[in-house]
Structure 1
Amino acid sequence: MQLSEEASKPIINRLRRANGQLAGIIRMLEDGRDCEDIVTQMAAVGKALDRAGFGLVAGSLKECLASGQGEELDSGKLEKLFLSLA
C-alpha cells in the first residue's frame, strides 16, 4: 500500500531535515568539532528517523483502516514493522 501525498508529506519533510542534520554532522567531523556535540546531533538524527518510521507505519495503518481494507491488515506484519523501529 502506498501512502497518500497528504500522509507522506510530513514524513518526507522529517527525512529532509534529518538529511540536513546528517550533512551537518559530516561537516562537524571534518571540522574537528567536539565529540559531545557530534553525539548530540547523531542522537537527534536517530530520533528523527525513528519518528519518520513510526509516522510511516501509523499513516499506513490509518489509511488502510479508513479505506476499508482493515480485514486484509496482517497484524503480525504490522507488529513486526513496529518492533523493527524499537
Structure 2
Amino acid sequence: MLAGLKGKSNIRIRKYIIDKGRAAVKKQIPNLFTFGNLFCGFLSVGYIMNGDAKNATILIFIAIMLDALDSRVARILAVSNEFWNN
C-alpha cells in the first residue's frame, strides 16, 4: 500500500492516507441512500401486515425518492462499483 511512498516525508504519507480514506467514504455515500431505500421497503411491509396502509404508502414514496437520489448522487460524486459496471 505504501510501497510507492518509500523515502517520502511523513506529511506526504499522512496526506496519502487521508486522501485514500476520503475516497473510501465518498464511495459509500450512495450506498447509504440504497440502505435507506431498503429500510423503508421492509418497514412498509411491516406496516401493511399490521393494517396501516397510510404509513406504508408514505414509506414507499420515500423509498422511491431515495432510489432516484441514489443514482444521481453516485453520478455527481463520480463513483461506481463492480455491480453497476456489468
Alignment TM-score, normalising by the size of structure 2: 0.57
Local SS of the residue matching 1:15: helix
Count of matched residue pairs? 57
Q: Is the 8 A contact 2:30 2:73 kept in 1?
A: yes
Indicate the RMSD between aligned Cα atoms, in angstroms: 1.7
Greater relative contact order (Cα 8 A, min sep 6): structure 1 or 2?
A: 1
Amino acid at match of 2:32: N
| 2: CA distance, partners of 1:54 / 1:20 | 19
> Relative to structure 2, which stretch is displaced further, 37-46 or 4-13?
4-13
| 1: CA distance, partners of 2:39 / 2:56 | 14
Instruction: Tell me what 2:60 maps to.
Output: 42
Q: How far 1:7 moved relative to its partner?
A: 2.2
Deviation per residue, 1:21-46 (Å, 9 max, x gap): 1110111111111x222211111111
Alignment TM-score, normalising by the size of structure 1: 0.57
Matches within 5 A, 1:11-22: 11-22=30-41
In the alignment, does 2:43 pair up with 1:9? no
Structure 1 or 2, whichever has the larger Rg, is 2
Identity of aligned pairs, percent? 2
